[in-house]
Amino acid sequence: MIGIWEEFLKIVSQEAGSHVVNTWLNAVSFSHWDSLEKIVYLKAPNNFVQEWIKSNYLPLFQSHLSRLFSVDSVKIVFIDGSYEAQIASESKSSTSTEIDIIPAVANPEFLPAKKMMVSRVQNRNPINKNYHFENFVVGPSNQLAYAAAHAVTEKIGRLYNPLFIYGGSGLGKTHLLHAIGNEIRRNYSNVEILYQTADRFVNEFINAIRFDKVPQFKSRYKDLDVLLIDDVQFISNKEQTQEAFFHIFNMLYDNHKQIVFSSDTDPAGINGLADRLRSRFEWGLVTDIQSPTLETKIAIIKHKASLHDQELSEEVMHYVASRSFSNIRELEGSLIRISAFAALTNQPITVDLVRKVLAKNKETKKTAVDFKSIIKALQRHYHYSLADLRSTGRGKQLSLARQVAMYLMKKLTNKSLQEIGTFLGRKDHTTVLHALQKVELGLKEDKTFYQHVNQLEQEILS
């Protein structure tokens, strides 16, 4: 059992960064595993560590330990300190994305007089209750996708199967997938729905292989009625995962279970996708979402403003919509900034104010990018400190993080290769040059990596 705990630490280290393990999880010790009750008993040195772990890492514990112990869900009980955390998965019934804390039934054997808390965490990605059909604004750019998604909820597995929705980032694909899930939950009681991003599918599959649990992994899908796979392009170039997915697809399809995919391109555009899978993606209905028209943007602005009881003049709405937002996520972000600025400075929202806020945003984009903000963004994603990046460590992840740092520094600041090298503790600029070449090649060849770097860039610029 200790072996499993070590495995768990390794996975966390890869997924959340070694600092999480070094700082927090190494402080915890594994006590024992109760296979009957499916409880993992842990000891924490003090309340602080315990609370921190409870509030930050419960989902990691839940998803990985349940898999490692080959059970649907595990309970985690801390047997030291004055609180015990118990994690119970609601693998079937939950529609909630929150972690509810409710009083637990005590486990008298280990926890005689102690106060105990139970946290319920869903084992799989939950369906987001905020995304419905009702708050999805329909226009020419998305009406087909909307109609198809809606139709799926009326004739589950019978009409468009699979339904494949593709389009650029921030155009509402995830929103529609969750809307399907919510609508089906509202209309039917005993329907098993799973929403999952494809990269999560990939990760879970890799772990299943590692621990020889592929049959268990596959069997988790067999009772589903609806499978919603978001960002399916993430399975590009992952041969073995595609193979597993192919079988899951066939099993569900043959039983008339509904499958819905979203992707950033059409099936033909997904690199390294096995032909037989590509053809299956095309079996049902393939539909796209395009960038919204001006009218749709205005309708979306109206909708979002009314949600926040924000009054906007026609002129302002028109002005905001006419600015070149490439996607709805950006549009939403700008609306929030505009209304926050107006509220904070106590000014009415006029075209002038909007212009100022949006221009200001652009300006800061140009000037405020410095090494520090790049390092900060990297830390959020890779969990390496500046010292790690400057070290001579050559671990795969660390080298990658360092190369991405160099690439972003070159791209987003006007510093020289030499300055970048020096900042990252490199003696000469050839290392930086080499990093740039590697990253650029990666961007060309690996779509997932491209999206990842792109996202980092957006975060740094926003």
Which of 153, 82, 367, 172 is closest to 163 using CA atoms? 153
State yes or no: residue 174 binds Mg ion (CB under 5 A). yes
Using CA atoms, how far apart are residues 431 and 428, in angstroms rounded to an integer?
Answer: 7
Site for ligand ADP in 15-54 (CB under 6 A): none
Between vectors from CA 111 to CA 110 and to CA 113, what angle results, nearest 5°?
145
Using CA atoms, how far apart are residues 288 and 266, in angstroms rounded to an integer?
Answer: 8
State yes or no: residue 197 binds Mg ion (CB under 5 A). no
Strand partners, 102: 118
> Of these partners, Mg ion, ligand ADP, none, which one is at the site of residue 328 (CB under 5 to 8 Å by kind)?
ligand ADP
Strand partners, 423: none
One symbol per residue from 112 to 131: x for binding ligand ADP (CB under 6 A), - otherwise; what is it? -------------------x
Q: Which residues of 11-28 are buried (b: 16+ CB within 10 A; e: fewer)?
A: bbbeebbbebbeebbebb
Q: How far is the CB of 260 from ligand ADP (least distance, A)?
A: 13
Which residue minimizes CB distance to Mg ion?
A: 174
Contact 77, 42 (CB under 8 A): yes
- Which amino acid is residue 123, in one-letter code? N
State yes or no: residue 300 binds ligand ADP (CB under 6 A). yes
Cα dihedral across residues 134, 135, 141, 142: positive or negative: negative
Using CA atoms, how far apart are residues 408 and 142, in angstroms rounded to an integer?
Answer: 34
Using CA atoms, how far apart are residues 362 and 373, in angstroms rounded to an integer?
Answer: 16
> Of these partners, ligand ADP, Mg ion, none, which one is at the site of residue 403 (CB under 5 to 8 Å by kind)?
none
> Of these partners, Mg ion, ligand ADP, none, which one is at the site of residue 259 (CB under 5 to 8 Å by kind)?
none
> Of these partners, ligand ADP, Mg ion, none, which one is at the site of residue 169 (CB under 5 to 8 Å by kind)?
ligand ADP
Q: How far is the CB of 170 from ligand ADP (least distance, A)?
A: 5
Using CA atoms, how far apart are residues 142 and 296, in angstroms rounded to an integer?
Answer: 9
Positions of E strands within 75-189: 75-78, 83-89, 100-103, 115-121, 163-167
User: Which CB atom, from 266 or from 332, has the smaller least distance to ligand ADP?
Assistant: 332
Site for ligand ADP in 322-361 (CB under 6 A): 328-329, 332
Using CA atoms, how far apart are residues 263 and 289, in angstroms rounded to an integer?
Answer: 10
Q: How many residues bind ligand ADP (CB under 6 A)?
A: 16
User: Which CB atom, from 274 or from 299, has the smaller least distance to ligand ADP?
Assistant: 299
Q: How far is the CB of 334 from ligand ADP (least distance, A)?
A: 12
100-103 β-sheet, strand order: 83-89, 115-121, 100-103
Choosing from 5, 41, 69, 136, the residue that interacts with ligand ADP (CB under 6 A) is: 136
Q: How far is the CB of 450 from ligand ADP (least distance, A)?
A: 15
One symbol per residue from 159 to 198: x for binding ligand ADP (CB under 6 A), - otherwise; what is it? --------x-xxxxxxx-----------------------
Residues at the interface with ligand ADP (CB under 6 A): 131, 136-137, 142, 167, 169-175, 300, 328-329, 332
Residues at the interface with Mg ion (CB under 5 A): 173-174
